[in-house]
Structure 1
Amino acid sequence: MNKFTKLGLFAILLATVVFSSCKKEYESIESTDDAAIQAYLKKNNLNFDKDPTKGYYFKINTQGTGSKVANQDSVYYTYTFKTLSGQVFFQSTDLMIPGNYLGYTDRFTFNQQQFLLTPVREVLSKLNRGGKATLIMPSYMVFGKNGLSALNIASNENVIVDLGLYLESKRHEIDELEINKLISNNNLTLTKDPSRARYSIITPGTGTDAINLNSTIVANYTLRTLDGVVVPQPAQITDVLSNLFKGWQLILPGRVTAGGKLRLILPSDLANGMPLDFDIEIVSVTN
């Protein structure tokens, strides 16, 4: 046997050893994860089903009274990610309800890293609209041996996800849920316009020029998403009202003049595609 043949055989043997070692490590992690999940279920007296091919666990808590959904259907949903110890590290909010096609509900971004969590979509697909479920994913399906230190997720951490589908399927229905939740959370007293905009006139102003769609207005304003995050904008805007938000066009005329102040909450169809919360001060009006 020449030197090159010996080297070739050695390389093949080394690759086989490395591959076998990696396979054993993977199988060991699978076994360790499964044992930890089963111990958690036993300790908490929980009964979950196990997916026979992929190995995650799930429980349908409420089937839901709405329609079944398929990958091409638009859905609004909730999620709360936590460790087996109960540490919540990522969750949706009922002020910014996530919506997508069901087929894309398995895409998540944690700490600017993208993850494909197929079990989330698969469990959601088992529900009717209005349903709720709990999913337990083994660590190798989520963050693996690296964990995610930015979220305080340790190596080989199994993950629980509480999931739900909203019964509502239309954007305007979700707008109402979100806006009503904001009003309730903050004990706000607002007037609801037929357009579904909500407003509170703090002071109507003392200007003599009535605002109309052709008025040039100068306004100071603060813009927030419904979860309270301020959207960076110029502090002051000067423009013809007909060029501004549809909700401004509907609410400002006849209600405020120069010097007027109001709070205005707009549904997505009167804003820029998502509900928005404004504090507005009219500095001047020119007709």
Structure 2
Amino acid sequence: MKQFAFAFLSVLVLAMFSCKKDYENIVSFDTQSIQNYISANNLTMSQGDSGIYYQIIKPGTTGNSLTDTDQIFYAFTVKTLDGKFVSTDTVLNRVSNYVGVTSTTLPYGLQFGIKKYLQKRNGVIRLIIPSKQAYGVNGYKSSDAVINIPGNESLDYTVYLYNVKNQLAYDTIQIRNYIKKNNLTGFAKSPSGLYYKIVDPGSGVDAVYSTSTVTITYTKRLLLSGTVIESKSLDAAALSTYISGWQEGLQYLNSGGKIRLLIPSGLAYGSAAASTTPDTRNYNVPPNSIMDFDVNVTAVTN
């Protein structure tokens, strides 16, 4: 029995020593690779906690220092230190989250660095996050394989923390950026935050009212990615049964009219993931999604 206990203790000590050695090796590897990167690129960075390096490009200037219960909205660029993965689309790379809630898809070190070093809204910070505080030994690969970050890879982020405190204000920034990025013209903004462009007001005599029954065809896109997730025709149904952005936007038309709608998330599917397929488990609309619709009203009944 004593021999068994000794053997078990020996294995336990060896395992603990191996884990400690692996941890120290990862930390040392991260530190060396980051320092080499900083030197090679002539960067001026300050060393923070947990191996994070940071540079305040624009100090946060608005409000009190961030707390865990504050909701923050930011965009970012990111690249691996080896330069093999680069993502600079700040329209697509956007986040809304509470400071104290750890994201399931973004590195812990990212939100930690924003709170610790930027501290206030309306600022810009550069963060070099060691792999230990990023995606660790396993790395990260998105379901569509667009994002593929290998294990033990440190990351270079530039973060733009917006001076907004609610989802609509943030969605509005994103819609404006989208319009500018894609050189779109002719859009008007309603008091609710809906952006719309009347392509054809319709030649029919029947105007669309909140109480109307409408027959439509449409194409639905996720605004930030431009991904078409649905294109179909719908049988006659009460306008009041559709999302708020449609209820408002389609009232600018007569029968036969066409309109393009850029709909903030609060007028679309809100903060919950949504499905547009018969299989309601297929959540192809992520939470807080801004939607881009082309809608054609083919018939109206009043």
**TM-score over 0.5 for the alignment?**
yes
Task: Give a deviation string over 1:99-154, Cα, whole Å, max 9, x none.
Answer: 121112x4132xxxxx6x33222211132211111222222333333444765434
Counterpart contact for 1:95–1:181, Cα < 8 Å: no
Amino acid of the residue matched to residue 17 of structure 2?
Answer: S
Amino acid of the residue matched to residue 204 of structure 1?
Answer: P
The one of 159, 172, 194 aligned to 2:155:
159
Counterpart contact for 1:82–1:90, Cα < 8 Å: yes
* C-alpha distance in 2 between matches for 1:45 and 1:233: 50
Counterpart contact for 2:75–2:159, Cα < 8 Å: yes
What residue number does 2:181 align with? 185
Amino acid of the residue matched to residue 122 of structure 1?
Answer: F
What residue number does 1:231 align with? 229
Aligned residues: 275
Deviates more, 1:239-248 or 1:150-159: 150-159
Counterpart contact for 1:137–1:159, Cα < 8 Å: yes
Structure 1: unaligned runs, 5 residues or longer = 110-114
Counterpart contact for 1:190–1:198, Cα < 8 Å: no
Q: Does 1:103 align with 2:100?
A: yes
* C-alpha distance in 2 between matches for 1:191 and 1:161: 33
Q: Does 1:58 align with 2:54?
A: yes
Counterpart contact for 1:136–1:161, Cα < 8 Å: yes
Normalization by structure 2: what TM-score?
0.79
- Tell me how large the CA RMSD over aligned residues is: 2.6
- Tell which structure's C-alpha radius of gyration is larger: 1
- What is the percent sequence identity of the aligned residues? 34
The one of 29, 34, 42 aligned to 1:32:
29
What residue number does 2:291 align with? 276
Structure 2: unaligned runs, 5 residues or longer = 271-288
The one of 110, 121, 130 aligned to 1:120:
110
SS in 1 for 2:230: coil
Counterpart contact for 2:85–2:149, Cα < 8 Å: no
What residue number does 1:248 align with? 246
Amino acid of the residue matched to residue 192 of structure 1?
Answer: A
Counterpart contact for 1:66–1:167, Cα < 8 Å: yes
SS in 2 for 1:214: coil
Amino acid of the residue matched to residue 188 of structure 1?
Answer: L
Normalization by structure 1: what TM-score?
0.83
